[in-house]
Structure 1
């Protein structure tokens, strides 16, 4: 047999549970749960990474000129005498043009390739002419007139071919001697060369 007080506490416990349940439901109705999309909308967005720009290579065509030195040659010229020389053709340097394919990255050269190498202006050789003609012999000097014979017309018998006067001294005409008598050679020494006209001893004086 149940005690009278137990029913009362049971009724109170059931009523309290109902009241608590109704309060929770009312609170849930007045504060509905946020949806997933609303939560995502209110969350701060993380910044997307900035892409690193890739360098773009630039290819250019460039040319460069180089000088080609001229050569020097010599030719013989028979129209001029031996010892004559003259530059008859002036030398000129030529030009060689080289073409390159050059690659730049951010304005810095990274590669260079030779595409062509051509002579755009050929050099001109310098020519020097040299005379080869033998000069004509100088004209013969007219002989000096024969000196007057010594007084008395006597000729020294030690010489022949010309009259060598008999005097204190006889020199060759046109030479460096100072006389007083002279003879126009050549003369042949047939005896004693008393006047020393045959300086080289070949038997002929005043050659």
Structure 2
């Protein structure tokens, strides 16, 4: 007797061998027959190459799943220093001549410290936010003095020592009643005791404004 059992993808063959009256290594009839078991693996053949009536096994193509790229975000604080320009002030000074200028206090710039929080994703900056600021160095104003003093012109006065009496000291002196245009005039006669700087002695006799 032969029993054949088939399964998808494999065939199991079980053979029951027995013969009534067989005496080769057996003790007699009625004893259990020897069992021979054989496992046979069968690989399904595609319909295109197998014979008629053959079935095709489904072909499974493996797919590789690609995991999404992981983003790495980091933050750090960045410090910047900025210049605070100094201011300028002007004051008047009556000890300086009018219009004269001089720097009394030199100006000095200050410094401002700013702290930013910067965000990076995969090494690329994506955000920047100011978190605090402070004055690291105060600026110093520049002070300039401007003079307001007015110089008084020298006044004419006194007597010129080149003449007797009192001939005023001036840019020019002429004899009264003459053709001169001054600005100062004198009445004669006047003795010339030095140099006739105003040319009052027309005939050079030593007596001016005769």
TM-score by length of 1: 0.52
Query: Number of residues paired by the alignment?
Result: 145
Task: State the superposition RMSD in angstroms.
Answer: 4.4
Q: Alpha-carbon deviation of 1:30? A: 3.0
**Are the structure 2 counterparts of residues 176 and 122 from structure 1 closer, same or farther at C-alpha, using a change threshold of 3 Å?**
farther
**Matching of residue 97 in structure 1 with residue 113 in structure 2:** yes
The CA deviation string for residues 92-147 of structure 1, in whole angstroms up to 9 with x for no partner, is: 11112211110011111000011123222121111111223344654766532354
Which is richer in helix?
Answer: 1
2:15 is paired with a residue of what secondary structure? helix
The answer for unaligned runs of 5 or more in structure 2 is 5-12, 17-34, 42-61, 166-174, 179-184, 191-195
Higher strand share: 2
Q: Give the corresponding residue for 1:80.
A: 96
Residue 144 (structure 1) aligned with residue 160 (structure 2): yes
Quick check: 1:144–1:174 contact (8 Å CA) kept in 2?
no
Match of 1:162 among 176, 187, 198: 187
Q: Which residue does the alignment assign to 2:147?
A: 131
Partner of 1:25: 14
Write the distance in 1 (CA, Å) between the matches of 2:86 and 2:176.
74
In structure 1, C-alpha distance between the alignment counterparts of 2:207 and 2:129, rounded to whole Å: 91
Q: Deviations over 1:43-102 (max 9, x none)?
A: xxx687453341121010111111111121111123333343211111111112211110
Structure 1: gaps spanning 5 or more residues: 1-17, 35-45, 150-155, 166-172, 188-207
| Cα distance in structure 2, aligned partners of 1:161 and 1:178 | 12
- Larger RCO: 1 or 2 (CA < 8 Å, sep 6+): 1
Match of 1:121 in 2: 137
Aligned with 1:115: secondary structure?
strand
User: Matched residues in 2 for 1:177 and 1:157: separation?
Assistant: 10
Query: What is the rounded CA distance, in whole Å, between the counterparts of 1:176 and 1:54 in structure 2?
Result: 111
